[in-house]
């Protein structure tokens, strides 16, 4: 759980520094969570209000632009922010030049989007897309000014400030979107909403953390750009292989199987996405802060792993075991084909939530090149695995390919990370044991309830299974792993006292 006590071999001065970082980590996650989940209601309310005032065609225009703009966004930032967070020896002049490079990337992305606006409008046969693309291209320039300020604030662990900015942005954006929709602006409501969000976020960040600009000299910042390039390579390969399953499914099976597979995948990923988005916003900066201290890296990796596993493993495995009841009750009988893919993807989703930490540690150790080449292997192997899975079992076979092939391809990455921080595999697996053991008991209890209490109402059966599973998991964790739970509570109490 977060965090575990310092290792006995730590230097005398380490405990005070470790305690300070522990406090920042816990508070960073707490503030980030409060901002994300506290503003979620505002976002949902404004989204529902806007949806009622717009038509599907309005959202369709933005959907046409999203695939292209998402890819350009990934290339525009070029990993410069992550380089500033990770490469702690960059001086002010280096950061100034990277700031200049970031803005140049934004300008190039803006011009490239303007050039591609007309061809994309012709491709989609949507004249309205052309002015939309031109307007959204300005967002690349606006957001480029926030790359370095964001990275510097992350390096300084100022996540409370990020949380405040996110809350302000959510409130202003919600009000603006509703007003735009009431004014009858149609799809321009969504376009202006994105631009308002970009401008407001940039202004808020620059008001707290500006940094001077300098013309980038390649020779001076080459090391940072090479490191950034490796990060971009990793992100591009991830973008490809993480979407290849749906590409294969849609191309060879058609719309209906793709729809059921997509819904099953989305539901299986919900617990993981909520938690990893929260923790992943904070942990990279902390891993980078202790990048030269393997003892601290081990402690944080084990602590965060245990904390994530305690939440994601029961949620994912619980969804997998009740999928045959959950789908007809919650989604309806027309989605029954999603049950088997959802089960497999939910089981594997729990591990994927932990796997992300390995990539973050590898980046913190300045070994992004290895991560990039691992991504290249995944991009080559996984689409082939999805095709084999398709032949063997349709959408279920594609889901099985994720479970069977992806962990094997990533084995060299796991091994490299554990070796780089001198962490024995058995110690890492030990961090997973409380949640795995408790989840296995949970599964056994749910199966027992299903056998012992056959009921005619699927809704009653689902409620009974969920309640029995939750109680079984919590009791097993509290009874069999009492010392770890007590240690976690004591740690949080100590951090709050400070």
Q: Where do we find the tokens 């904390």?
A: 307
pLDDT in tens, 11-65: 433 445 666 666 666 666 666 666 666 666 777 677 778 877 877 777 777 777 7
* Phi/psi at 399 (5° precision): -65, -40
CB of 190 within 8 A of CB of 53? no
Query: Which residues are within 8 A (CB) of 143 and not within 5 positions of it... i.e. 6 or more apart?
Result: 76, 106, 198, 201, 202
Q: What is the pTM of this model?
A: 0.79
pLDDT in tens, 95-115: 899 989 899 999 999 999 999
Q: pLDDT value at position 4?
A: 46
Q: Mean pLDDT across the stretch 317-333?
A: 90
Q: Mean pLDDT across the stretch 206-230?
A: 85
- Under DSSP, the state recorded for 463 is H
pLDDT in tens, 393-417: 899 999 999 999 999 999 999 999 9
- How far is 380 from 442, CA to CA, in rounded Å? 37
202 closest CA partner among 221, 38, 194, 42 = 194
Residue 374 has pLDDT above 90, yes or no: yes
More confident: 294 or 171? 294
473 closest CA partner among 435, 423, 447 = 435
CB of 203 within 8 A of CB of 169? no
CB of 310 within 8 A of CB of 439? no
Q: pLDDT value at position 409?
A: 95
What residue spans of 55-158 are helical by DSSP H? Answer: 56-77, 80-86, 92-124, 129-144, 147-155
Q: How far is CA 343 from CA 74, 325, 397, in A?
A: 31, 12, 12
Residue 498 has pLDDT above 50, yes or no: no
Q: pLDDT value at position 11?
A: 40
Q: How far is CA 166 from CA 29, 160, 268, in A?
A: 14, 10, 27
Q: pLDDT value at position 3?
A: 45
The 3-state DSSP class for residue 451 equals: helix
pLDDT band at 2; cut points 50, 70, 90: very low
Q: Mean pLDDT across the stretch 139-162?
A: 85
**Most confidently modeled of 42-46, 69-73, 81-85, 460-464?**
460-464
Residue 8 has pLDDT above 60, yes or no: no
Q: Tell me how far apart the terminal alpha carbons of the chain are, to the nearest angstrom.
A: 19
pLDDT band at 212; cut points 50, 70, 90: confident
- How far is 443 from 454, CA to CA, in rounded Å? 17
Other CB atoms within a 10 A radius of the CB of residue 423 amount to 20
- Longest CA–CA span in the chain (Å) reads 72
Share of the chain above pLDDT 90, in %: 30
Q: pLDDT value at position 422?
A: 93
Residue 131 has pLDDT above 60, yes or no: yes
Q: pLDDT value at position 10?
A: 40
Residue 41: asked if its preceding bond is cis (omega within 30°), the reply is no
Domain ranges of the chain: 25-216
Q: pLDDT value at position 308?
A: 86
- Using N-to-C axis directions, what is the helix angle for 294-321 and 425-452, rounded to 10°? 20
- Under DSSP, the state recorded for 327 is I
Residue 419 has pLDDT above 60, yes or no: yes
The mean of the pLDDT values for the chain is: 84
pLDDT band at 9; cut points 50, 70, 90: very low
Q: Of 62-71, 176-185, 414-423, give the lowest mean pLDDT range.
A: 62-71
- How far is 88 from 155, CA to CA, in rounded Å? 9
Q: Mean pLDDT across the stretch 411-428?
A: 94
């Amino acid at each position: 759980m977060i965090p575990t006590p310092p290792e006995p071999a730590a230097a005398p001065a380490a405990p005070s520094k470790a305690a300070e970082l522990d406090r920042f980590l816990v508070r960073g996650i707490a503030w980030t969570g409060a901002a994300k989940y506290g503003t979620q209601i505002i976002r949902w309310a404004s989204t529902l209000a806007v949806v009622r005032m717009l038509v599907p065609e309005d959202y369709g225009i933005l959907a046409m632009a999203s695939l292209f703009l998402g890819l350009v966004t990934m290339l525009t930032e070029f990993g410069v922010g992550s380089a500033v967070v990770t490469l702690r020896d960059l001086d002010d002049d280096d950061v100034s030049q990277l700031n200049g490079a970031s803005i140049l990337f934004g300008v190039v992305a803006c011009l490239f989007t303007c050039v591609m606006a007309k061809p994309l409008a012709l491709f989609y046969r949507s004249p309205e897309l052309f002015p939309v693309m031109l307007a959204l291209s300005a967002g690349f320039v606006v957001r480029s000014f926030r790359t370095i300020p964001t990275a510097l604030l992350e390096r300084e662990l100022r996540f409370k400030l990020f949380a405040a900015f996110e809350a302000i942005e959510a409130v202003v954006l919600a009000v603006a979107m509703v007003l735009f929709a009431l004014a009858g602006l149609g799809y321009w409501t969504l376009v202006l909403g994105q631009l308002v969000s970009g401008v407001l976020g940039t202004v808020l960040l620059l008001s707290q953390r500006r940094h001077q600009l300098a013309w980038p000299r390649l020779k001076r910042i080459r090391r940072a750009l090479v490191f950034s390039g490796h990060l971009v390579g990793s992100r591009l390969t991830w973008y490809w292989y993480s979407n290849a399953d749906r590409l294969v499914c849609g191309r060879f099976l058609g719309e209906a199987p793709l729809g059921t597979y997509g819904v099953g995948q989305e539901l299986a990923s919900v617990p993981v996405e909520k938690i990893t988005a929260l923790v992943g916003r904070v942990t990279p900066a902390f891993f980078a802060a202790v990048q030269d201290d393997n003892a601290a890296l081990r402690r944080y990796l084990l602590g965060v792993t245990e904390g994530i596993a305690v939440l994601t493993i029961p949620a994912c495995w619980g969804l997998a075991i009740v999928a045959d009841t959950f789908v007809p009750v919650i989604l309806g009988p027309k989605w029954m084909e999603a049950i088997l893919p959802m089960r497999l993807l939910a089981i594997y989703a729990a591990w994927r939530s932990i796997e992300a930490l390995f990539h973050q540690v590898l980046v913190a150790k300045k070994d992004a090149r290895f991560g990039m080449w691992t991504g290249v292997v995944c991009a080559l192997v996984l689409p082939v695995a999805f095709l084999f899975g398709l032949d063997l079992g349709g959408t279920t076979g594609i889901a099985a390919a994720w479970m069977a092939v992806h962990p094997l391809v990533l084995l060299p990455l796991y091994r490299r990370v554990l070796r780089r921080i001198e962490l024995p595999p058995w110690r890492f697996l030990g961090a997973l044991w409380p949640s795995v053991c408790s989840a296995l008991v949970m599964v056994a209890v749910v199966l027992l309830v299903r056998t012992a209490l056959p009921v005619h109402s699927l809704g009653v059966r689902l409620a009974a299974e969920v309640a029995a599973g939750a109680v079984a998991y919590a009791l097993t964790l509290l009874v069999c792993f009492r010392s770890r739970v007590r240690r976690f509570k004591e740690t949080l109490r100590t951090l709050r006292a400070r």
